[in-house]
Chains A and B, each alone.
Chain A
C-alpha cells in the first residue's frame, strides 16, 4: 500500500512570540513493514536553525528554532509511505502470559533487554492494582499472551466510549479507568498500564491511520489527528501491535511514526516559546492511498 501523508499543526498566538524552540517527532520510522519513500518538514515562518538526530528509542527528531517575532506558526509534515502486510501471529500459539512475565524479569539478552525498558512506570503511566485487576479478567491462568491481550483490547474497545470532550493529556489514568471514556491516547496509556501492572512489557506507538475508509466501510476513529496504539512484547515473537481504539491488530492501514514508553517520549510537536499570551492550536491529518493497489484481504472491524 502506498499512502500520501500530511500532518499540519498550526499555532495562533494572541501576543507575538519572540523565540520558539520545538522538538518535532514527525518523520515516520523505517521497519520491515513500512518504508518511508519521501518525507519533508516545512515551517512557516522558516526556522533560523534546524537539526536532526535520532533519539534514545530510535525516533527521528528535528529540533527547530524560530528567532524572529511571529504571531502564527505552521508546521507541515508531508511524505509518501509504503506499507507492507505484517507477519500474522496465531494468538493461541503464543506462550502463556506468566511465562513471558517471568522471562521479562531480569532478561538481559538482546531484544529482551530492549523490552525491559518498557516494563516500568513512565511519565504518564503509573502501574497499580486497579489496572492489574481490570486486566486479569482476560489474563487468566495459563492463557496464551496474545489471546489474552486481544481480549483485553476488545474489552477496552467495547467498555470504553470514544469521547474527545472528557480528557486532556493531563487527565490521570485512574480517572479514565473510572469514567470509561477517552481518546486513543488514553486507551493506549490505559492498556499499557494494564499490561505493565501484570509485569509485561508494553510500549506506546504514535502514528496515523487511513483517513478515508474503503467504500462501504465506516471511518476509523482517531483518523482526524495523530493516532496512538500499543505494542506488546512476547519472547520469540518480538513486538506485536494492538489498537484498542479500533479493536484490531494494525496492519496496512497504520503508519508508525515513533515509539516510546508513553506519549511523553513521542509527542509529535513539543515546544517552548518565549512570549506572554495564550494560543490556539489546530491540527489536520490526512493519510490517503495514492495507488490503486489490491487491498490485502483481512478482517476489518465492524463499526
Chain B
C-alpha cells in the first residue's frame, strides 16, 4: 500500500499541522486538499480540528468508539461466525461538502428519483418502453428482479420508490458519478443518524461552528410521507417496520429507526392477512396495519405469490396490496431498478421521459446483453470491472486485470453463454478523504450514499448521508461487508443553522403515539423467555459458585460431606455424570466444572446461557433503553474470559461479575421499564423460572442428602437467602426453618410462595388471550391452580421427612414443577404466535 509514511506533526509545539502533513494519493481527487492546499470549505474545520491536539483527538476518537459500543451500534457480516454484532466503525473526521456543491447533488438526486419512478411505472404498467425499443426485452424478461405478480398492481399516486438511495463517488476530475441505485429497501439512514449523534457529541464545537445542516427535518418529512401513504388516507395510520430479524446485516438500524420514527418493529410472523387486509397480531387481538415500511427484499415478502421458500414474509401480502388495503414502502417489485444493467440505459430514458440530460451521470456501464457492448467488454477486460447485470448482491465484482488466466477464460465463457447476465463497468478511481489513523491523517477511498424521500408533491434530500471508506488506503472496494469504515457527512450551510433537536424534530413529536396495546405476540413471547433465561442464568451462576467455592477455597471448612452432597445434587440435576461422585480425579472434575462455566454449546452452561439470553434480547432490542442494552453487552463481554492458569479462581471471578451484571439488568427492568404487558411478560418468565428452579433445586438437594443437614446451607446459598436466614434464625441451620423460609415465607422475595403470588397477580392483569393452539377463540385466561405452600403444610412435610417418609416432600415439589411447566405451555398456547406459515 502506498500510504504516506511521513511522520505527522510533532506534539508540544503548538497545534499539530495534521492537514499540512496529510498526503493524498497521486492522480486522485482528495476531498480536503487540492493543488492549492486545503480547500476553502475545509479551512475552518481543519484549524479547529488541529487545535484540539493529538492527545485530545485520540481521546475523542476513543470516546467515539465507546459511545458506539454503548449504544450497541452493530453491523452483521454474513458468512463470518464472529461477524454477528460487529461494532460499527465511524471515523472521527467528517466528510465536508459545501452548500453549492450539495445543491447540485440534490438536483441530480431528485431528477434520478423521478426518472426511476417513471421507468417502474411503465414496466409494471403499459410497457411502452419495451414496445418502443428503448428497453430491450432481455433487460426485463431475463431479469429475476422483474416480478410478474406485481405487474398491474396500483400503488398510491402511482409512485413506487418512496425512499431512494444512490451511491456516489467522485472521479479524478472532481465530478460526481452515481455508482448504483438502491430502490427496494435502502439501508443506512439509521446509521447516518447515529453517526451524526456520535460525531456531534465528540466534536460539539466544531459541529456548531461549521454551520452543519441538520438531519432531523429529513426524518420528519419521511415520517409524514409514510403517513400519507395509508390506504384511503386513514387518520393516524398504523405503520410497522418489517424486518427480516436479528440475523440481518443491518438489524441494529431496523430497531433503531423503528423506535426513532415511532413505528412498531415486526417480523413476518407478527403479521397475518385476513380478508385481504394485513393485521398485526398483538396480545389483545388483531390490529389493522395500513403501511409497511419494509426492510425485507422484494421476493421474500410473500411466500404465497413470490418466493415460496421464504419465511420472512407474510402470506397473502401481495393480494392485500392488490386490493389496495395496505401500502408497502418501497413498492413491491422496485428492486428491478437496482440492476446495474439499467445504468447503461438511463441517459436515453432520461431524455425520452423527462426531456433532460442526466444531471449526475452514472458510471460508464456496458450491458453484455447487446452484441456491440459485449464485444467491447470482452476486448477490454483489463480495464473493466465485470459485475452481475441483475442484482446478485453477494457476488463480488471481477477485476479483469487481477484474474488468473484460467479464471479469466472461465469469465469469458460465462459472459458468452449468458451475456445478458453481465455488465462491464469503468473502473472509477474514487476520491479520497482524510481519515484519522492514530496521530495522523490517512487518505481513504470514499463512497457517499445519499437519500431522497419522496412525498405526495415534494421531495426531501437528506442533507448528508452515509459516507463509507475503504479499509486500507489503496483498496479499490468500499464495502461494509469487507470491513471498511464510515464517516458522517457534514453539508455546510452558508448561514447559521437553525437549532433543531434531533430527538424531537419540529412538527409533531416523534414516538409519542405508540399504543401500549401494540405489543406483538412474538415480542411478548421473547420477553417471557428473556425473563426465564435471565433467571436460569442466575440460578446456574449461584449453583456453580456454590460448588466452585467449596472446591477451591480451603478456608470454607464445610467438610467433605457437604461437598459430596453438592456433587450428588449436580448429578440429580443432570449437570454432571454420576461417575464423577466419590473417588474421582480432581482434574477430571475440574475440567467438567469448567465446561459448565465456559462452554458455549453445552446446554445449561453459563456461557451458553449468556449467549442465549443475549440472542433473545437482540430480537426485542427496540424495547430496551441504551443503558439496559449496555448492561447486556457488558454481561456478554464479561462471560467471554478464559480459564487461564488459575481456572477456579478465574471462573469464580467471572461468576461474581456476572451476578452483578445480572443484578444491574434486573434493576433496570424494575426501575425503568414501563409497566405494560411487555414488562409483565418479562416478569412472568422470571417468576415462573425462579419458582421452578427453586422447586427443582430443593428436590435435588433432599434427594442427594437424606439426613439432611449438610445440604441446607448450600441450598440457602443457591436460593440467595443466607442473609435472611441468619437474621431470622441466627446460624442454626435446621430443616424446618430452611424449608419454611424457601417455600412458605411471604416476606422472602426468593421464596416459592412469593413467586406464586407474583405470578397470580400478573395472570390476573393479563389481557384476554387472542390466540390459541387451534386458532379458534381461546377458552380464557390461564390460571394457576397451585395451592400455596403454607407453614402448616411445611411442618407436616418436615415431620414426615425426618421420619424417613420422604416421598411426600418429593411429590409435593414435583407437583409444583409440573404445574409451572403446564402454566408455561398454557401461556404459549394462549398468547404467543406458535407456528410459522409453511408451504402446502
A-B contact pairs, 22 of them (CB 8 A): A17-B775, A56-B152, A57-B148, A63-B316, A65-B273, A65-B274, A65-B316, A68-B775, A68-B776, A69-B774, A69-B775, A108-B132, A113-B137, A116-B138, A119-B138, A129-B417, A270-B304, A272-B304, A272-B308, A272-B315, A272-B839, A273-B838
B213 in contact (CB, < 8 A): no
B204 in contact (CB, < 8 A): no
B5 in contact (CB, < 8 A): no
A23 touches B835 (CB 8 A): no
- A21-B316, A69-B774 are known contacts. Are A106 and B275 too (CB-CB below 8 A)? no
B676 in contact (CB, < 8 A): no
Instruction: Provide the bound-state CA to CA distance between A117 and B315, in Å.
Output: 26
Other A-B pairs beyond A18-B775, A119-B137, 18, CB < 8 Å: A18-B774, A21-B273, A23-B304, A48-B275, A49-B275, A51-B323, A53-B322, A63-B316, A67-B274, A69-B775, A116-B138, A117-B137, A120-B138, A120-B142, A270-B308, A270-B839, A270-B840, A274-B837
- Give per-residue flags for B820-837: 1 if the beta carbon is below 8 A from chain A beta carbons, else 0: 000000000000001111
- Work out how many contacts link A and B, with CB atoms closer than 8 A: 111
A contacts, CB < 8 Å to B: 11, 16-23, 48-49, 51, 53, 55-57, 63, 65, 67-69, 106-109, 113, 116-117, 119-121, 129, 265, 269-276, 279
For residue A205, give the distance in angstroms from its CB to the closest CB of chain B: 17
B482 in contact (CB, < 8 A): no
B133 in contact (CB, < 8 A): yes
A272 touches B838 (CB 8 A): yes
Residues of A within 8 A of B630 (CB): none
Instruction: Provide the bound-state CA to CA distance between A68 and B772, in Å.
Output: 12
Instruction: Provide the bound-state CA to CA distance between A20 and B212, in Å.
Output: 53
Instruction: Provide the bound-state CA to CA distance between A113 and B838, in Å.
Output: 36
B272 in contact (CB, < 8 A): yes
Instruction: Provide the bound-state CA to CA distance between A285 and B208, in Å.
Output: 76
Residues of B within 8 A of A106 (CB): 136-137
- A69-B775, A113-B137 are known contacts. Are A56 and B149 too (CB-CB below 8 A)? yes
For residue B95, give the distance in angstroms from its CB to the closest CB of chain A: 42
B776 touches A69 (CB 8 A): yes
Instruction: Provide the bound-state CA to CA distance between A106 and B316, in Å.
Output: 36
Residues of B within 8 A of A109 (CB): 131
Instruction: Provide the bound-state CA to CA distance between A275 and B130, in Å.
Output: 44
Instruction: Provide the bound-state CA to CA distance between A11 and B838, in Å.
Output: 14
B729 in contact (CB, < 8 A): no
Contact of B835 among A48, A51, A63, A276 (CB under 8 A): A276
For B421, the closest partner residue in chain A by CB is A121
For residue B840, give the distance in angstroms from its CB to the closest CB of chain A: 3
For B153, the closest partner residue in chain A by CB is A53
Query: How many chain-B residues does the 8 Å CB contact rule pick out?
Result: 41
Residues of B within 8 A of A116 (CB): 137-138, 141
Instruction: Provide the bound-state CA to CA distance between A51 and B136, in Å.
Output: 35
Residues of B within 8 A of A22 (CB): 304, 840
Instruction: Provide the bound-state CA to CA distance between A11 and B839, in Å.
Output: 13
Contact of A271 among B149, B322, B323, B840 (CB under 8 A): B840
B151 in contact (CB, < 8 A): yes
B130 touches A108 (CB 8 A): yes
For residue A197, give the distance in angstroms from its CB to the closest CB of chain B: 10
Instruction: Provide the bound-state CA to CA distance between A257 and B436, in Å.
Output: 66
A113 touches B131 (CB 8 A): yes
B275 touches A65 (CB 8 A): yes
Instruction: Provide the bound-state CA to CA distance between A108 and B149, in Å.
Output: 22
Residues of B within 8 A of A276 (CB): 834-835
B303 in contact (CB, < 8 A): yes
For residue A271, give the distance in angstroms from its CB to the closest CB of chain B: 3
For residue A100, give the distance in angstroms from its CB to the closest CB of chain B: 15
For residue A25, give the distance in angstroms from its CB to the closest CB of chain B: 11
Instruction: Provide the bound-state CA to CA distance between A106 and B137, in Å.
Output: 7
Contact of B840 among A16, A18, A69, A272 (CB under 8 A): A272
- A67-B274, A117-B141 are known contacts. Are A275 and B323 too (CB-CB below 8 A)? no
For A17, the closest partner residue in chain B by CB is B775
Residues of A within 8 A of B138 (CB): 116, 119-120
- A56-B149, A69-B774 are known contacts. Are A49 and B276 too (CB-CB below 8 A)? yes
Could you tell me which residues of chain B, from 363 to 412, have a CB within 8 Å of some CB in chain A?
Answer: none
Could you tell me which residues of chain B, from 215 to 234, have a CB within 8 Å of some CB in chain A?
Answer: none
Could you tell me which residues of chain B, from 97 to 149, have a CB within 8 Å of some CB in chain A?
Answer: 127, 130-133, 136-138, 141-142, 148-149
Among B131, B274, B835, the one with the most A-chain Cβ atoms within 10 Å of its Cβ is: B835
- State the 9 A-B residue pairs at the shortest beta-carbon distance, nearest first: A18-B775, A271-B840, A272-B315, A120-B142, A56-B148, A116-B137, A49-B275, A69-B775, A69-B774
For B275, the closest partner residue in chain A by CB is A49
B305 in contact (CB, < 8 A): yes
Residues of A within 8 A of B152 (CB): 56
B837 touches A272 (CB 8 A): yes
B319 in contact (CB, < 8 A): yes
For residue A140, give the distance in angstroms from its CB to the closest CB of chain B: 22
For B315, the closest partner residue in chain A by CB is A272
B141 touches A120 (CB 8 A): yes
For A277, the closest partner residue in chain B by CB is B835
For A107, the closest partner residue in chain B by CB is B137
B274 touches A48 (CB 8 A): yes
- Give per-residue flags for B258-277: 1 if the beta carbon is below 8 A from chain A beta carbons, else 0: 00000000000000111110
Instruction: Provide the bound-state CA to CA distance between A177 and B804, in Å.
Output: 76
Among B130, B274, B305, B840, the one with the most A-chain Cβ atoms within 10 Å of its Cβ is: B840
B149 touches A55 (CB 8 A): yes
